[in-house]
Amino acid sequence: MMIDTILEAIATVNRQDTVKISDWRLVERTQERQERYYIAAKAEQARAVDEINYSLTIYVDTTTNDKNFRGEATITIQPTFSLEDCIAKIRQGVFAASKSHNPWFGLPDPSALKVALPVSGFEALSPTDRVDVVRGAFYSAAAKLEGSARINALELFITKEQRRLINSRGIDYFATLWRGYSEFVVEAEGPDGPVELFDDIEFSEPDTARLAMAIESRLAQVRDRALAKPMPQLEHIPVILRGKEAEEVFSWFFNNSCTEAIYSKASAFELGKNVQKASDDEEVVEPLDLWAEPVIPGLPSSRAFDADGFPLERTPVIEHGVLTTLVGSVRHADWLGVPRRGSFPLFSVSPGSMSLETMHAAPYLEPVMFSDFQLDSVTGDFGAEVRLAYYFDGNSVVPVRGGSISGSLGAMRASMRRSSETATATISRCPVAVMLQGATVTGIR
């Protein structure tokens, strides 16, 4: 077994060399993947992938002036490596680790995991059935709309990963992870020719209803894009962000609440302070609650332990707008002197008090597809070209296209409103919509 070879190589280096490995962490990832690439309903090619990766992190401790330091280096061990190859590569890692002198921190010790990952429904299906079930969900939904909107292309990936994490402190965790991913292009005919929209979805279950809903909503929207008018120049209009873009807004709060961002000063957030306002005299319209989540059913990023091997459990991070707990890597938690909580893959946000119906009762601009929505995790600045939006002028809702929106979340966070409806997105369960005041809307007429 390759893991045995790697452990023997570590022992050999520690036995023979002057510079010792103080601690180590080894992650084995074995992946089996089925891939299909459809053009309309035909497959361009069929692919299968078997991968195995070994990532070894080596820690080397030093002491200078009675102060302890810990250097580290992460190396890739190829499955073809012999024992001699492993020893040579590990020696390179030890040399590199001995040259970095970070403040000392300890690796997590063994402890019971606090959450369990649900067993995926993919587990009971054959490789062929996995593909057929997911493909069927998409194409059956599209067939209902045949003639007015259709699938142009669809790529499908279903991966089973078996991950084992062991470390020198005695941790030995194992997880089976399922990641389904599909990206699709839908198209419709308009008076000026065909138009398209692009989207993608991640999933860990053969949840045909969720998959069908994802493509149905885009098929309906691409029909609207075919009829959309150029977006007008608009001032002082609330902008409603939906789905993944709403999730990005909440991600900004989550990312800036992490130990690494605080330690490096990339984040301006402070523990115990209200992070929904830039100054004390601002009034927060709707205080936010945010939790770090290890598991959200249906999301492939769910994890019972983090990359360091720290067991995760649901943790409140922002309560009523105030940053109460820092989450993130254990080393940065130690360096900041805060309790270790681990690095979380997912988060959830409390619903707001405003229903979608109420948000839609007054004039608004609601972009539902951008070219590529960008929200800078440090500055909070955001912007994107609009591919499809719905504009309500107080009388009627019309689909519009083109132009762009931009702004800075830092200046809008106090006044933002969240929908009372929530849904599972890509890395969260959060309100399906967020309403922002003060965004710059650049129209094309």
Partner 1 sequence: MPQRTHSPFLLASRPMLAGIIAELKPHFDYISVLATDDRGLSYLALPGETRTAEPMWVQRGFVFRAQRGGKVAEYACASGSVAQATKAAAEIRARLEALLTDPTLISFPQIPDEPATSEYLGEIEEDPFHADPESILARLTALREKLTDGKVVVMAQSRYECVDVSRLFLSPNRSLLQSFLWSQAYLFGVARRGQMSKMSYRPASGRKGLEILRQLETSVPELAQELSDLLEAEPMVPGEYEVILDPDMAGTLAHEAFGHGVETDMFFKKRARAVEYLGKRVGSDLVTMYDGAAGVDQTGSYLFDDEGVFSSKTCVIDRGILKGGISDTLSALALNIPMTGNGRREAYSHKAYARMTNTYFAPGTSTLDEMIASVKHGWKLSQLNSGMEDPRNWGIQLICMVGREIKDGKFTGRVASPVVCSGYVPDVLSAVSMVSDDFELGGSGACGKGHKEYAKVSSGGPYVKTRMRLG
* Token pair for 161: 């990963």
Judged by beta carbon, residue 387 or residue 417, the one nearer partner 1 is: 387
Question: Which H/E stretch holds residue 143?
Answer: helix 127-143
Q: Does 442 bind partner 1 (CB under 8 A)?
A: yes
Judged by beta carbon, residue 186 or residue 433, the one nearer partner 1 is: 186
Residue 389: CA atoms inside 13 Å, Cβ hemisphere, count?
A: 30
Binder among 110, 194, 297, 339 for partner 1 (CB under 8 A): 194
Binder among 24, 178, 263, 391 for partner 1 (CB under 8 A): 263
Integer Cα distance of 240 and 366 in angstroms: 5
Nearest distance, CB of residue 115 and partner 1, angstroms: 28
* Window contacting partner 1 (CB under 8 A); options: 20-28, 183-191, 289-297, 429-437: 183-191
Residue list 110-149, contact with partner 1 (CB under 8 A): none
* Window contacting partner 1 (CB under 8 A); options: 96-104, 117-125, 140-148, 203-211: 96-104
Binder among 195, 389, 400, 430 for partner 1 (CB under 8 A): 195
Integer Cα distance of 417 and 350 in angstroms: 12
* CB-based contact 326:356 (threshold 8 Å): no
* Window contacting partner 1 (CB under 8 A); options: 35-43, 205-213, 305-313, 315-323: 35-43
* Window contacting partner 1 (CB under 8 A); options: 14-22, 107-115, 306-314, 383-391: 383-391
Q: Does 2 bind partner 1 (CB under 8 A)?
A: yes
Task: With CA atoms as reference, report the closest residue to 380 among 236, 240, 256, 247.
Answer: 256
Q: Output the DSSP codes for 118-131.
A: PPPGGGGS-HHHHH
* Window contacting partner 1 (CB under 8 A); options: 164-172, 288-296, 300-308, 434-442: 434-442
Nearest distance, CB of residue 39 and partner 1, angstroms: 5
Residue 401's SS3 state is strand
Judged by beta carbon, residue 286 or residue 385, the one nearer partner 1 is: 385
Integer Cα distance of 206 and 186 in angstroms: 21
Binder among 3, 88, 103, 361 for partner 1 (CB under 8 A): 103
* Token pair for 37: 């690439």
Judged by beta carbon, residue 65 or residue 395, the one nearer partner 1 is: 65
Q: Does 236 bind partner 1 (CB under 8 A)?
A: no
Q: What are phi and psi of 153, to 5 degrees?
A: -155, 150
Binder among 28, 187, 248, 308 for partner 1 (CB under 8 A): 187
Binder among 82, 140, 148, 264 for partner 1 (CB under 8 A): 264
Judged by beta carbon, residue 93 or residue 311, the one nearer partner 1 is: 93
Q: Output the DSSP codes for 334-377.
A: HHHT----B--SEEEE---SB-HHHHTTS-EEEEEEES--EE-T
Q: Does 88 bind partner 1 (CB under 8 A)?
A: no
Nearest distance, CB of residue 203 and partner 1, angstroms: 15
Integer Cα distance of 91 and 10 in angstroms: 9
Strand pairing partners for 193?
190
* Window contacting partner 1 (CB under 8 A); options: 110-118, 190-198, 297-305, 360-368: 190-198
Task: With CA atoms as reference, report the closest residue to 206 among 134, 113, 270.
Answer: 134
Strand pairing partners for 440?
406
Task: Determine the length of the chain.
Answer: 445
Binder among 3, 11, 52, 88 for partner 1 (CB under 8 A): 52
Residue 273: CA atoms inside 13 Å, Cβ hemisphere, count?
A: 15
* Window contacting partner 1 (CB under 8 A); options: 44-52, 213-221, 314-322, 391-399: 44-52
Q: What are phi and psi of 148, to 5 degrees?
A: -105, -35
Nearest distance, CB of residue 371 and partner 1, angstroms: 4
Contacts 24+ apart (CB under 8 A), 124-127: 125/206, 127/32, 127/34, 127/48, 127/158
Q: Does 50 bind partner 1 (CB under 8 A)?
A: yes
Binder among 3, 11, 49, 143 for partner 1 (CB under 8 A): 49
Nearest distance, CB of residue 50 and partner 1, angstroms: 5
Kindly list the distances between the CA atom of residue 361 and the CA atoms of 197, 384, 397, in Å, as whole numbers in the listed order.
27, 25, 11
Binding mask 281-320 for partner 1 (x = CB under 8 A): ----------------------------------------
CA angle (408 as vertex; 407, 412 as ends), nearest 5: 100
Residue list 3-32, contact with partner 1 (CB under 8 A): none
